[in-house]
Amino acid sequence: MAGDYVIQLTDADFETQVLKADVPVLVDFWASWCGPCKAIAPLIEELAAGYAGKVKVCKVNVDENPATPGRYGVRGIPTLILFKGGKVVDQLVGAVPKNQLEDLLQKAL
């Protein structure tokens, strides 16, 4: 199942899973009440499966983990931030089409 490729993160394990990762990491900042977040969730899972081994895909629930989105200036959700080597490569805000998500991932490969 595609959902198996997406890692749910907390503020506590963000540094280990994202900043110290040896592959690029796409982080989806979302909330359960966010309609656009739910709309792009299947795309995120599809990309996670398609890029398995090349890019790690993670989700952070902003309601349960407020420190991390605050640190990265997340104001609107969904916000997708691409990290490589512990640094922000780029980010997208809002429900965007799959090709835009793929273009984002290509920047780190």
Q: Which of 25, 26, 34, 92 is catalytic?
A: 34
* The pair of three-digit structure tokens given for residue 73, joined into one six-digit string: 């200036």
Residue 90, CA distances (Å) to 1, 35, 108 in order: 28, 23, 9
* HSE-CB of 86 using CA atoms within 13 angstroms: 4
Three-state DSSP at 3 gives: helix
Q: Which of 6, 18, 26, 37 is catalytic?
A: 37
Say how many C-beta atoms besides its own lie within 10 A of residue 52's C-beta.
Answer: 13
**Residue 34 known to be catalytic:** yes
Q: Which residues are catalytic?
A: 34, 37
